[in-house]
Amino acid sequence: MPPNSATSSSGTTIETHRYRAVAESFGVDPSGYDRWRPRYPQDLIERIRRANPGPDVLDVGIGTGIVARQLRDTGVRVIGVEPDARMAAYARSHGFDVEEATIEDWDPRGRLFDALVSGQTWHWVDPAAGAAKAGQVLRPGGRVAIFWNAGDVPAEIHEAFVDAFSRAVPDWPTPMTRTPPPASTWYNAMADRAAEGFRAVGGFAEAERWQDSWEQSYTREEYLALLPTQGMLTRATAEQAAPVLEAVGEVIDRLGGSFVMHYVTTTMTTVRARG
């Protein structure tokens, strides 16, 4: 299911960074978020590490530390910025230095980094202000890597979710459709918007686009545990979420109790100019 996105399927631009209440709602269950949110392709993590000029990495929207742990395993040093105190506390419990702020308001205190990464979070950042801060904190040649996992469930599951969610949460701000384009379309729009921010502030190379395709299987229980960690349900009440989970669970049962999710991980990457 697509989140609040940069451009809806109708072509309407949605400034996702203005939806702060949604952006800062994911910490309602940090342990559930950390357990059930998918990781990122190891090939991508290794590619980012190889492309960095050094070991010092700033993770924007570190959350529970999913990206940070994957990167730390490659030998880099990660500092996180995170506006949600609950998520920040969880990441600290895994050994990370995390400072509580939005990236727009964060004070780097003169520190410089070899790379800036952001997994599944940059759409909550003002694109121009975020790019300007990246220019402030990256060393010459420093790498920016902003990426999103985009998953496509079987059509029957998506239709059940949209029907039940539209009844349960009728005032949700983002238009939803029972026949959406591939989820990667939404995230490509986000990557385009991020690239425009870096282009506008100047001082960066022309953005590149990387894409990694992969699959992950989910049982009924696993997917129903994942759904409440997504932005459509993190602010829903238990009474609102229950019929949505029930409707989706019934469809998964009809599919045999499990299904395969097709993912595309889209990365917008650029480099701080030298000199």
Beta bridge partners of 219: 258
| Domains in the chain, CATH or no CATH each | 16-153+181-217+263-271 (3.40.50.150)
Amino acid at 39: R
SS3 call for 97: strand
Give me the phi and psi of 269, to 5 degrees please. Answer: -135, 145
Q: Indicate the Cα dihedral angle 252, 229, 95, 49, nearest 10°.
A: 70
What is the value of pTM for the model shown?
Answer: 0.91
Over range 129-149, report the average pLDDT.
Answer: 98
Distances, alpha carbon 266 to alpha carbons 10, 189, 235, in Å? 21, 10, 26
C-alpha torsion sign, points 82, 85, 90, 93: positive
Express each pLDDT in 181-235 by its tens digit: 899 999 999 999 999 999 999 999 999 999 999 999 999 999 999 999 998 898 8
